[in-house]
Chain A
Amino acid sequence: MAASFASKCSRVGHSLFGGLGNSLSGLVTTSQEIICNKFLSQQQQQQRSFIQMRTVLKVVDNSGAKKVMCIQPLKGRKGARLGDTIIASVKEAHPNGKVKKGKVVYGVVMRAAMQKGRCDGSEVKFDDNAVVLVDKQGQPIGTRVFGPVPHELRMKKHVKILTLAGHIA
């Protein structure tokens, strides 16, 4: 994340220099440059990033929870991506469900707003961040799964979730 931001800064910095010509070349300080760049990059694109601690995700099965907050991505230095497992804390739940508010659960990321590269070279991205709650062995707690489900789960051996899915993306 930091590396990509830094490289983006330098790229935008170069274009700034090109645009302004020689007038400011000697005078621009590094702090000013960073401020300018940050403003520009915020305007341009919405950068989607990993699922990390404190990320709130939607729950798309009928286990009883509605929203969970990630407390730890298992695997991955920067965070979890599509198809990874996370440890989460239930923040919002249906009144009578298998899972109650405050419980610490495992989840498999079903949909991620950050694009994931596929083996044929293309990239997929979804509309939101969503999880399906699982137990420690990886078996889903709920009995139904809503919304589209990515292929990537097959490689991660979450076949049970795929069978429950209505639509495979």
Chain B
Amino acid sequence: MRLEKCWFCSSTVYPGHGIQFVRNDAKIFRFCRSKCHKNFKMKRNPRKVKWTKAYRRLHGKDMTQDSTFEFERKRNRPERYDRNLAEDVLKAIPKIDKIRVRREEKHHKNRMKGNKAKLLKEAARELEQGINLVKPPSVLQKDPSLTLPQIKVLVPQQQTEENRPMEE
């Protein structure tokens, strides 16, 4: 029994599932379900189809290189059955899965983090524009403590520069 990978979406094909297509040049394409098979028949390139693993790896959405992937490499040499080895492997599989999932989550978090400087600038702009939601403009003019200081740039013509203390 062998767990194969779907050619299109790279998910595992368990025994009893899917279709194997053998092309005349003897290349075998395995598909996990008819969705992948139909996409293949439409001659779609999995690297361009957004929900496949091939696309995600190519565009850096999922992690590509990791030592946990070494454990899942395809091995063509059958191993002589050893009960102790089999037991150890069965114990190790959930551990490796946990580590891999943890690393994937970290990768995802790093990807979603965002540029700190850009976020601050956007936040400042939003505060400046949307300050009317906090207090009406008439009140703000009387009490300037809520507005951000207006920074005027010195242009080489006669213009006054307002120096207001930065208030947090």
**A: which residues have CB within 8 A of B?**
111, 115, 120-128, 147-148, 150, 166-167, 169
Query: Which residues of B are found within 8 Å of A147, using beta-carbon distances?
Result: 24, 26
Of the candidates A115, A121, A124, A127, the one whose C-beta lies within 8 Å of that of B17 is: A121
B149: min CB distance to chain A, Å: 62
Of the candidates B15, B17, B18, B22, the one whose C-beta lies within 8 Å of that of A148 is: B22
B22 near A122 with CB under 8 A, answer no
B16 near A120 with CB under 8 A, answer yes
A126 near B16 with CB under 8 A, answer no
B24 near A127 with CB under 8 A, answer yes
Q: Does B21 contact A (CB under 8 A)?
A: yes
Query: Which residues of A are found within 8 Å of B21, using beta-carbon distances?
Result: 124-127
By secondary structure, the B interface counts as loop
- 25 CB contacts below 8 A, A to B, read A115-B19, A121-B16, A121-B17, A122-B16, A122-B18, A122-B19, A122-B20, A123-B18, A123-B19, A123-B20, A124-B19, A124-B20, A125-B20, A125-B21, A125-B22, A126-B22, A126-B23, A127-B22, A127-B23, A127-B24, A128-B24, A148-B22, A148-B26, A167-B26, A169-B26
Of the candidates B13, B15, B28, the one whose C-beta lies within 8 Å of that of A169 is: B28
B33: min CB distance to chain A, Å: 12
B window 1-55: CB within 8 A of A: 1, 13, 15-24, 26, 28
Bound-complex Cα distance A115 to B13 (A): 17
B15 near A120 with CB under 8 A, answer yes
Query: Which residues of A are found within 8 Å of B15, using beta-carbon distances?
Result: 120-122
Name the CB-closest residue of A to B27. A148
A120 near B24 with CB under 8 A, answer no
Query: Which residues of B are found within 8 Å of A167, using beta-carbon distances?
Result: 26
Number of interface residues of B (CB under 8 A): 14
- The contact string, 1 if C-beta is below 8 Å from chain A, for chain B 56-81, is 00000000000000000000000000
Bound-complex Cα distance A150 to B26 (A): 10
Query: Which residues of A are found within 8 Å of B22, using beta-carbon distances?
Result: 111, 124-127, 148, 150, 169
Q: Shortest 4 CB-CB distances between A and B: which pairs?
A: A121-B16, A167-B26, A148-B26, A169-B22
A107: min CB distance to chain B, Å: 18
A17: min CB distance to chain B, Å: 24
A26: min CB distance to chain B, Å: 35
B147: min CB distance to chain A, Å: 58
Bound-complex Cα distance A167 to B16 (A): 24
Query: Which residues of B are found within 8 Å of A150, using beta-carbon distances?
Result: 22
Bound-complex Cα distance A120 to B20 (A): 12
Given contacts A120-B1, A121-B15, A122-B13, 8 further A-B contacts (CB under 8 A): A120-B15, A122-B15, A124-B19, A125-B21, A127-B21, A128-B24, A147-B24, A169-B28
A108: min CB distance to chain B, Å: 17
